[in-house]
A and B are shown apart, each in its own frame.
Chain A
Amino acid sequence: MKQKGTILQNELRERIHNMEAGEGVTLSKLQKILLSIQGPVTTILDVLHGNVNMFIIDQHVENAEKSVAELLDIEIDDEIFYREVILHKNGRPLCYSQSYIPLSRCSDEVTEDLLNKRLTTGNIMDYRHIETVREISNIDIEKITPLLQDLFKTDADLIVREYNMKHKKKIVVHTKEAFPISYFTEM
Chain B
Amino acid sequence: MKFIHTADIQIGARYAQFGEKAGIPRAARLSTLKRILEIAREQDADAVLIAGDMFESNQIANAQVNEAFAALAARPEIPVVILPGNHDPLDGPGCIWMREPFANPPDHVTVCLSREPIPIADAIVLPVPITQKVSTKDPSLPLVEMAGQITRDRIKIGMTHGALAIDGKHQPSDQPIALDAATRAKLDYLAVGHWHKPQVYDDGRLAMSGTPEPDDFDQDSGSVALVEISAPGHKPVITQLDSAKFCWQSVTVDLLNRQPSPDIITASIQATATPPDATVLRIELVGPVSPEHRETLVSAIDRIAQDYAVVRVDDRTSTVLSESLWKACLQEHPLLAQAVADVGRARLFNTGCTPTVDTSAIEQLTLDEFQSLCDDLKIETQQLRDDAFEAMMALLAAEVGKAGTGCGAA
Q: Do A and B actually bind?
A: no
A residues whose Cβ falls under 8 Å from a Cβ of B:
none
B residues whose Cβ falls under 8 Å from a Cβ of A:
none
